[in-house]
Structure 1
Amino acid sequence: MEKTSLSTPLGRITVIDALRGFALLGVVLVHMTQHYGIFSFSDRGISEPLFPAFDEFVRWLATNVLSGRFINIFSFLFGLSFFIQIDRAKRKGIDFHKRFVWRMIILLVIGLVGNCFYTADILPIYAILGIVLVFLSRFKSKVLVVIAALLLLGTPRLLMIGYDRLNQTELVQNSIQRTSEERPSVRPSMQMEKPSFINSAKNNLTNGMEMKMNIQFGKYGRGYLTMALFILGLIAGRFRFFETVHERKKRNVLLFIGFTLGTLLIDGLIKLFPAHNVGYFTFMMPNVEVTPSLLIVAMLCDISTVLFSGALVMGFIICYHLNGIGKYLNVLSPYGRMGLTNYELQNIMGCLVFSPWAFGSVFGNWGATEVFMLGLAIYVLQIVISRCWLRSFLYGPLEWLWRSATYLQRQPLKKIQQNIRVYTE
């Protein structure tokens, strides 16, 4: 009876679903402009761009508006969803923490399968950090605020760099002692394997996974920022922010203004420092000196993207509750309800579009504008499919699989008349 009652869906806060769908719009567009990290070209080589002026704009948009900001929203909503599940179970007198750990193990498996298609699939990282979130959720909100602040300030990055510098002398001495005979005079040649899904999956699960873990938990520290967003989502849930968001319109506007001004202020501070590229390879290159100004700029960039994401969230919420606009934005709700399925479908389609063993010879040399429009087309197609699917079914395919595996019991999938009212609230 506990399994049945716990798995029965309660009334949904549709703005959360719509916001998740909105976040996935930015995710697919960024990944498309990055060719999903796959670069394959036809025998004709790289063709001349068809829309050079628009290409520049699309790259600017992807870099300065979309990249990092929309995946931040997705991460924030993950922490919020964690709270909703824990809270609803608690109302039924059930401790869901252990069940959530098992849920994260299942998510890890799903993510590893997705990683075969797209090496930067974020779900394995979410699964690892989700387990950490279970333990952190025992702390009071004040403590969580402090932890989130330390993560946003780049504390893990500072600790790693400080540790490296303590060992720098020993590393230099060891490198000097190595004789020329010990060093290979010629680098081993990199043999290109025949393009195939199997070879691509093997690379994604080995070299790709290693690079992803370095990006997330190395000096670049993307994973620590994700953890901070998980915590902020949990805190927002504790404050019942979204349960009253439709009533607190003045608060919504003030938060939007605050996040916007905060973003502009931080961006202004960044310009006071020497220009730095704070990307992943900056922190990984052995010859790049990690200066205090670089660390400050990296910290400010992290804070700026979080504030920018906050402004996007509040702007979306304000528009969602406007009579003339909200009904159109609500079209994204079915997409967001199938967020797991749609995210993985994005990755699979991106893999097929750009891989040399699939359609990479066709789309691999497309310019930024073309792949951006292709991403929009994929997104619109997914919206249509999501709406059609949820007319007959309670969950998306992966959501149903995840739910059934969570409770180790096959969950209902097809809608019956008594369930329709619950899902249209």
Structure 2
Amino acid sequence: MEQVKPKTPIIGRITVLDALRGFALLGVILIHMLQHFGIFSIPSPQIEERFPEMNKIIQWIGQHIIMGRFVNIFAFLFGLSFFIQMDSATRKGIDFRKRFVWRMFLLFSLGILAHSFYSLEIISVYAVFGLLLIPLYRVKNWVLIVFACLLIIGVPRIIQANKHNNAVSELKINQPLPNNSRVQPGIPDHITKPSFLNSAKYNYKERFTGKLNYQFGLIGRGYLTFAMFIFGLVVGRIRFFENIGIKKSKNMKLFLGFVLATFLIGRIINLFPTIETRLLFNPAGIYIPNELLLLQALKDINLVLFSGALAMGFIILYQTKSMGKYLDLLSPYGRMGLTNYIMQGLIGSLLFSMWAFGSIFSAWAATELFILGIVIYIGQVIISKYWLKYFLFGPLEWLWRSTTYMKSQPFRRISTEKKENLK
């Protein structure tokens, strides 16, 4: 009798990843609320702050605990998801690359559409980086790690800064222009004539170039994001999450390592004299010192390490009986990550745009906005839980999946009774 070779088992859905994605999106909405989702509006007469000291604490938390850290986890999970999709298709004997290119095109289109509502959307950038992962899929791990580290320490920034400084030296301009010589832009139409159309025009015409500068200019946020994508790919390859349940002691050591490294880098950063890193946003005519490049590199390294500590801390808590059952409530939220992320932006655009309620909510202080962000998040968690009781995917996840395969995918869950009847 001919023996049938067993197929390599396909690993089922890893719920801790869904919960971790949901946790990352908590940080995303909270920092976006504090940033008014990047939407400029003119508030109604400012109300006297009710909690001035608490506002300072919330702003500190946003700046030193949330900003850049949670979105790093989100980016890392995107790179990990890329590996899982490619690996799953390979196990089935399917070349998923062309399909993934189409998938990223769809994601890019959705991101560009979301940009009309709020300019802080990042999924269009993620789509571009997703395409760049394809040629890296077969590259050796050590090469990927070296490449990611070069991105984190700011090699693209160093190259750009050298070109910038050479141009400044040639022009012999080493001082910034006086403030009174700068041309002050007029109040844009989306403020003087509030409408969604004017707001969308402003986002595409003015804010899109700012986004590109933030991602690929001297700040180089995009390079850091791409490094997190690569780390996600590498972690997927070593199948870290597939055996995470039996690595509790190693997880704790990894967590402590991240915490210690974050603390040490933070101490080194504090040794630097006060340097305004925001100069990197627009250094026109100004020489960029090497100390500034080093400081920004250390800050980026610190962000990555801090993100690792947050992620591992969450995973350790998820593995405990006392906390795991509560943190698992975030799994449905994470499974509907795309839908919930887009909904965060749509809600934010309604809250802060002048054509909606911007004159009201833009006057709110940090504490009120932080609490409102938590309320919105909890509402989404509840909706996600009950939605997935009746449907297999979030609405945007289903649409993305159906357009990926150019065929309507199963959407509604079939009850056990119906399954028996179908048999």
Runs of 4+ in 1 over 6 A off after TM superposition: 184-188, 418-421
Letter of the 2:390 partner, please give it: S
Distance 1:370 1:412, change over 3 A: same
Distance 1:40 1:10, change over 3 A: same
Q: Is the partner of 1:48 in helix, strand or coil?
A: coil
Quote the Cα distance in structure 2 between the aligned partners of 1:273 and 1:405: 51
Could you say which residue in structure 1 is the equivalent of 2:37? 36
Distance 1:419 1:366, change over 3 A: farther
Distance 1:192 1:172, change over 3 A: farther
Aligned counterpart in structure 2 of residue 192 of structure 1, from 168, 189, 193: 189
* Deviation per residue, 1:249-302 (Å, 9 max, x gap): 0110000000000000101111122122324x5441325431111111100000
Unaligned runs of 5+ in 1: 1-8, 174-183
Distance 1:168 1:334, change over 3 A: same
* Deviation per residue, 1:41-73 (Å, 9 max, x gap): 444x22211111110110000000000000000
Quote the Cα distance in structure 2 between the aligned partners of 1:394 and 1:300: 43
Q: Is the 8 A contact 2:22 2:331 kept in 1?
A: yes
Distance 1:221 1:42, change over 3 A: closer
Quote the Cα distance in structure 1 between the aligned partners of 2:417 and 2:58: 43
Q: Is the 8 A contact 2:402 2:409 kept in 1?
A: yes
Aligned counterpart in structure 2 of residue 343 of structure 1, from 338, 341, 344: 341
Quote the Cα distance in structure 1 between the aligned partners of 2:170 and 2:271: 35
Quote the Cα distance in structure 1 between the aligned partners of 2:210 and 2:142: 34
Aligned counterpart in structure 2 of residue 394 of structure 1, from 380, 392, 395: 392
Quote the Cα distance in structure 1 between the aligned partners of 2:416 and 2:122: 36
Q: Is the 8 A contact 1:157 1:220 kept in 2?
A: yes
Per the TM alignment, residue 99 of structure 1 is displaced from its structure 2 partner at its CA by: 1.2
Q: Is the partner of 1:308 in helix, strand or coil?
A: helix
Per the TM alignment, residue 169 of structure 1 is displaced from its structure 2 partner at its CA by: 4.3
Could you say which residue in structure 2 is the equivalent of 1:125? 125
Could you say which residue in structure 2 is the equivalent of 1:332? 330
Quote the Cα distance in structure 2 between the aligned partners of 1:97 and 1:306: 29
Quote the Cα distance in structure 1 between the aligned partners of 2:231 and 2:285: 36
| Matching of residues 303-342 of structure 1 within 5 Å | 303-342=301-340
Distance 1:119 1:267, change over 3 A: same
Quote the Cα distance in structure 1 between the aligned partners of 2:402 and 2:247: 37
Aligned counterpart in structure 2 of residue 372 of structure 1, from 358, 370, 373: 370
Per the TM alignment, residue 39 of structure 1 is displaced from its structure 2 partner at its CA by: 3.7
Q: Is the 8 A contact 2:18 2:335 kept in 1?
A: yes
Per the TM alignment, residue 418 of structure 1 is displaced from its structure 2 partner at its CA by: 6.8
Quote the Cα distance in structure 2 between the aligned partners of 1:229 and 1:48: 41
Distance 1:415 1:371, change over 3 A: same
Q: Is the 8 A contact 2:34 2:366 kept in 1?
A: yes
Distance 1:187 1:333, change over 3 A: closer
Q: Is the 8 A contact 2:39 2:119 kept in 1?
A: no
Per the TM alignment, residue 138 of structure 1 is displaced from its structure 2 partner at its CA by: 2.5
What root-mean-square deviation, in Å, do the aligned CA atoms of Structure 1 and Structure 2 show?
A: 2.1
Per the TM alignment, residue 214 of structure 1 is displaced from its structure 2 partner at its CA by: 0.5
Name whichever of 287-296 and 121-130 sits farther off. 287-296
Quote the Cα distance in structure 1 between the aligned partners of 2:86 and 2:290: 41
* Deviation per residue, 1:217-246 (Å, 9 max, x gap): 011100000000000000000000000111
Per the TM alignment, residue 161 of structure 1 is displaced from its structure 2 partner at its CA by: 1.1
Unaligned runs of 5+ in 2: 1-9, 174-180
Could you say which residue in structure 2 is the equivalent of 1:4? none
Q: Is the partner of 1:366 in helix, strand or coil?
A: coil
Distance 1:257 1:282, change over 3 A: same
Per the TM alignment, residue 101 of structure 1 is displaced from its structure 2 partner at its CA by: 1.1
Quote the Cα distance in structure 2 between the aligned partners of 1:419 and 1:248: 39
Q: Is the 8 A contact 1:39 1:355 kept in 2?
A: yes
Q: Is the 8 A contact 2:31 2:66 kept in 1?
A: yes
Quote the Cα distance in structure 2 between the aligned partners of 1:419 and 1:398: 28
Aligned residues: 401
* Deviation per residue, 1:70-113 (Å, 9 max, x gap): 00000000000000000000000011122111111000011011
Letter of the 1:269 partner, please give it: I
Could you say which residue in structure 1 is the equivalent of 2:4? none
Could you say which residue in structure 1 is the equivalent of 2:21? 20
Letter of the 2:57 partner, please give it: F
TM-score, scaled relative to structure 2: 0.91
TM-score, scaled relative to structure 1: 0.90
Could you say which residue in structure 2 is the equivalent of 1:296? 294
Per the TM alignment, residue 171 of structure 1 is displaced from its structure 2 partner at its CA by: 4.5
Quote the Cα distance in structure 2 between the aligned partners of 1:302 and 1:420: 53
Distance 1:161 1:50, change over 3 A: same
Quote the Cα distance in structure 2 between the aligned partners of 1:189 and 1:197: 19
Could you say which residue in structure 2 is the equivalent of 1:49? 49
Q: Is the 8 A contact 1:107 1:124 kept in 2?
A: yes
Quote the Cα distance in structure 2 between the aligned partners of 1:341 and 1:190: 33
